[in-house]
Amino acid sequence: MAGRDSTPVAPSHSGTAGPFVPDGRRRRIRMPASPIGRGRWRRRRRLLFVTGASGFVGRHLVNGPASEKWEVIAPGSRSLDLRRRDSVLGEIVDWRPDAVIHLAYRRDDRQVIVDGTRNVAEAAAAARSRLVHVSTDLVFPGGPVAFSEHDEPHPLVDYGVDKLDAERLVADIAPGAVIVRTSLVYGTERPSPPQIELSKQLRSPARRTAMSYFTDEYRCPVHAADLAAALVDLATRRDVAGPLHVTGPEVVSRHDLAVRFARHAGLERQAASIRASTIQESGTVRPGRIELDVSKAEQLGIRCRPVSAVLP
C-alpha cells in the first residue's frame, strides 16, 4: 500500500506502473514503500488520492468509469491511519495529488471523523491539492421544507454533530474545498450494506418478523455511481467551494425505500411483509424529514437520478 507496502511495482493496464486501488478490477497496482521505487513510476494522468476507497462509494469511484481518466492512489486504513497526523501529511504531501477525495469515516468514531478530517485537510492544503470532502444530510435536524446550502446546520444525532465539526475544520483549513453533503446511498449491480442486510432478513423468516422500517423518516437517496461521478467532476472544479448538496431529487420514506430494495433483489413476495413503524414508536430521537435542495448542483450540471427511475 502507498507509503507502507513493500510489494514491488507492477505494470498497470496501460503497461506502466500505476497506483493501487482496492477491488481487483482495474488499476490494481501497489506502490513501493521507498522513494527510489516510487521514482520508477511516472505520472501520465491527473493523480487522485482517495480515502475510504474500500467503502461502498469508494469502490464505485475507483472501480467505475468516474475515475478512468485518473491515476488513483487509494491506501487502506491498515496502511494509512487517518488519525496519525504525521503519516497523513507525509503520504499526501509526498504524492502531491491533483485532488483528494475524502470519503473515509467510521460512524461511531469521532476521532476518525473529526481528527482524521483535520489531518486530511491540512495535508491537502500543504500539497496544494483540490479537496473534495464528503459529508451528510444529518447535519440538519429535519423539517417540512428542503434545506439549502445557506441554511444553518443543527444536527440531532451524534454522527451529524461529528460530521458538522469536520465540515467546519475543512472550511477553516482549506477554504477552497468543496463540502459535499449527500444522503442515503444505494447501488444496483453492487448493493449497499443495508441492501444486503435487508435481503438476508427477508430470506430468513425468523429475522423477518423482527424488522421494521419508518414511514415517517424521509431522505433523498442517491445511486453510488451518480455520487461517485459528481465527486470526480468536482475534483476538477476549483471554482466550486463550500457546501454543495449532491443527492437524488426525490424524497422517499425509509419504508418505501426498503420495499424498492426488496423488489430489486427479486424478493417481490417478501417485500409485502416489510413491517412499517414510526420514529415515535421506536422511542428514538432522529430527524423525520431531511430533503436537500439540489438546485445549486443542478446549475453546475450535476444531476443524480431519482430513485424511482432506478428502482421502480
pLDDT of 91-117, one tens digit each? 999 999 999 999 998 888 999 999 999
The pLDDT of residue 87 is above 90 = yes
Provide mean pLDDT across the span 226-243.
Answer: 97
Percentage of the chain surpassing pLDDT 70?
84
Contact (Cβ atoms closer than 8 angstroms) between residue 291 and residue 145: yes
Q: At what angle do helices 85-95 and 116-127 cross, to 10 degrees?
A: 30
Name the DSSP class of 138: G
The pLDDT tens digits of the residues spanning 116-173 come to: 999 999 999 999 999 999 999 999 999 999 999 999 999 999 999 999 999 999 999 9
Q: Assess whether pLDDT exceeds 90 at residue 190.
A: yes
Q: N- to C-terminal Cα distance for the chain?
A: 40
Task: Report pTM.
Answer: 0.87
pLDDT band per the 50, 70, 90 thresholds, residue 42: low
Can you give the pLDDT at residue 107? 85
Mean pLDDT score, 175-188: 98
pLDDT at 273: 87
Provide the grid cell at 59: 469502490
Would you place residue 292 in the very low, low, confident or very high pLDDT band (cuts 50, 70, 90)? very high
Give the bridge partners for 46, in sequence order.
70
Q: Which of residues 41 and 168 earns the better pLDDT score?
A: 168
Residue 211: the pLDDT is: 79
Nearest Cα to Cα of residue 57 among 243, 196, 191: 191
Q: Which amino acid is at 108?
A: D
Q: What is the pLDDT of residue 16?
A: 30
8 Å CB contact between 167 and 133: yes
